[in-house]
Structure 1
Amino acid sequence: MEARLQKILAQWGIASRREAEEMIRDSRVQINGILAHLGQKVDPEKDAIAVDGKPLSKKHRPALIYLLLHKPAGVVSTCYDPHHRPTVLDLLPKELREGSGIHPVGRLDADSTGALILTNDGELTFGLTHPRHSISKTYHVLVKGHPPEAVLHKWRQGVMLEGRKTRAAKVHLIERCAEQSFLEIVLQEGRNRQIRRIAQQLGYPVIKLHRTAIGSIQLQTSKEPFLDEGKYRSLKDDEIQFLQKQLKKNSEVRIQESESISRGSKSPTD
């Protein structure tokens, strides 16, 4: 059955769908010996697909991998860094890094620490990093100063960033120190450096930012020992099922939105 090339590469665990699109743009993918183009449809049962000159076969698709990593500060959430900084893949053993297509799901900026999911399930990555996704992410954040309740309330209601208001968030004061405050923040969106930018805008810059959980997937649970910085573990079956349920939910929401837009664009009939 024909499907878009980037979707097949994602399904086979070669890369996330966005990364697959970049590979196609960079002339790294060939179909039947000819350079592929973005949006091209192929039939993996009939067409010969090659990446970086190496033929691919569905039977060689690597097993799906789902990991939870405790990202340290100073490590970038990408597969490759042109500035030669350490990446999250450098924290994995060679047998996981090479040939598996594993990649991070979303990002934590280099200065932040905490929970990050790694997988080679490209379809899952595409669905969970879609702008409309709604998986909550929990952060423990140390900020300068003592933001009053009015400021925390404003943060909860949403703040304008680059002309667009952020979604409502949960912002809870955990503790006030001498010149700092410790907050717990739960977001259901992931705009670039969102917490840091909002905190700066409100006048209480971030000192430290740590992600403790992605939905129900936590760095520390009653059943699991604490995951040290730089270490990883495989996701449990129920954690993988949680992600897959979120993927299905997000897909259904996008379909409903698309159908709603389609109905709205139709002219009324007599």
Structure 2
Amino acid sequence: MTPPARRDGTPDKDQQPTRLRASEIQLSNARPARRQNVDPDQRRRKAATADSVAQSLGADWLVDDKPTEGVRLQKVLAQAGVASRRHAEVLIDKGRVEVNGKVVKTQGTRVNPNTDVIRVDGVRVNVNEEHEYFLLNKPRGMQSTMSDDMGRPCVGDIVAEKTMSGQRLFHVGRLDADTEGLLILTNDGELANRLTHPKYEVAKTYLATVLGEADKRLVHTLRNGIELDDGPAKADYVQIVDSHNGQSLIRIELHEGRKHIVRRMLKEAGFPVQRLVRTKIHTVQLGEQKPGTMRALNNSELTSLYKAVQL
């Protein structure tokens, strides 16, 4: 039976609820569950989308039905200087971005910058932070090696700080000790191999100071081919830059990679080389860079080399 209330309408003091002291109150730190009533079909659709993205990338992106770690594609493009993240998202939406040869239109797609090949409008983007590319102006009298058993000056002396810090740089092609000029150094083995492979016919340009005052006959001889001990050789382009006082300055471009090819061609033609400088490889130019100095290749130079060797 319910006890009667007091005249003022309040419960009898014996029936009032017990008050808890502050020290006796326990608060729960648990957060309320989110999306407690997610549609099962929606879950399946999301899982199928993640799976299709992984397959399109041609990589093993799913482990135990969960995506592995990677970097968002728009962030990678922004870090590479292609565009801001927002603009990168627009490029992705328009289907202008490829990963490993597949067009990717899914926002938030994760990629591995160290292994995946990413292109925008068909042009490869350098996103691998582990790869380094340098242009060295090799001085005359220096060996094109990273070390020399005989203690002679070598390229490794200039890049000692890089090699000591763990970077294994190697040169693209060689220049003999008496030849100076442009030498590309990188730790990207695939690019280095292709740049030196005869299949891709990467052009190299030299400035040669020779004995004798050259005329158009030398241009004709070098362009049409000259017979050497190991077979015929010809230049792709020849220009007489200057000729006076018994010497000439010749610009010669060719894609041959045989040893001492420029010196041997000019000697056979009757114009022995006194000084030889390589000034250009494909579109990468030495410019006004001083001997013994090194600089990083810029994005446009690197993109041009990628195109030249179909990377």
> Normalised by the shorter chain, which TM-score bucket?
0.5 to 0.7
SS at match of 1:238: helix
Structure 1 residues 227 and 97: CA distance shift in structure 2, 3 A: farther
Q: Secondary structure at the match of 2:309?
A: helix
Q: Secondary structure, in 3 states, of the residue corresponding to 2:306?
A: helix
Deviations 1:36-76 (A, max 9, x none): xxxxxxxxxxxxxxxxxxxxxx9xx9811100001100111
Alignment partners' CA distance in 2, 1:125 and 1:81: 21
Residues 131, 186 of structure 2: 8 Å contact kept: yes
Alignment: residue pair count: 185
> Using a 3 Å threshold, how does the CA distance of structure 1 residues 206 and 74 change in structure 2: closer, same or farther?
same
Counterparts of 1:161-200 in structure 2 under 5 Å? 161-200=228-267
1:229 counterpart = 2:291: yes
Alignment deviations for residues 103-153 of structure 1 (CA, whole Å, 9 cap, x no partner):
110011110111110001111111111123312111111000123322321
TM-score w.r.t. the length of structure 2 is 0.56
Kindly state the Cα deviation for residue 201 of structure 1 after the two structures are TM-superposed: 1.3
Task: Give 1:122's aligned residue.
Answer: 189
Provide the secondary structure at the position in 2 that maps to 1:154.
helix
CA drift of 1:185 comes to 0.7
Q: Which residue of 1 aligns with 2:156?
A: 89
Distance 1:243 1:190 in 2: 17
What's the counterpart of residue 241 of structure 1? 303
Q: How is 1:1-270 mapped onto 2 (pairs within 5 angstroms)?
A: 63-220=130-287, 226-248=288-310
SS at match of 1:132: helix
CA RMSD, 1 decimal: 2.0
The structure number with the bigger radius of gyration is: 2
Show the counterpart of 1:48. Answer: none
* Structure 1 residues 204 and 118: CA distance shift in structure 2, 3 A: same
Q: Give the CA deviation at 1:156.
A: 1.2
Q: Which has the higher contact order (CA 8 A, sep 6+)?
A: 1
Structure 1 position 181, deviation (Å): 0.6
User: How far is 1:79 from its partner?
Assistant: 2.0
User: In the alignment, residue 78 of structure 1 is paired with which amino acid?
Assistant: T
Distance 1:217 1:248 in 2: 16
Instruction: For 2:144 and 2:226, locate their aligned partners in 1 and report how far apart those are by CA, in whole Å.
Output: 26
Task: Give the distance between the partners of 2:255 and 2:143, measured in 1 at CA.
Answer: 22
Per-residue deviation at 1:231?
0.2
Q: Which runs of 5+ in 2 are unaligned?
A: 1-114, 116-127
CA gap 1:228/1:163 in 2 versus in 1, 3 angstroms: closer
Distance 1:131 1:160 in 2: 19
Task: Give the whole-Å Cα distance in 2 for the aligned partners of 1:132 and 1:188.
Answer: 10
Mapped partners of 1:231, 1:243: distance in 2: 21
1:167–1:188 CA contact under 8 A, matched in 2: no
Normalising by structure 1, we get a TM-score of: 0.64
Q: CA deviation at 1:96?
A: 4.1
Distance in 1 (alpha carbons) for counterparts of 2:181 and 2:269:
24
> What is the CA distance between 1:80 and its match in structure 2?
2.6
C-alpha distance 158-98 of structure 1, shift in aligned 2 (>3 A): farther
SS at the partner of 2:250? Answer: strand
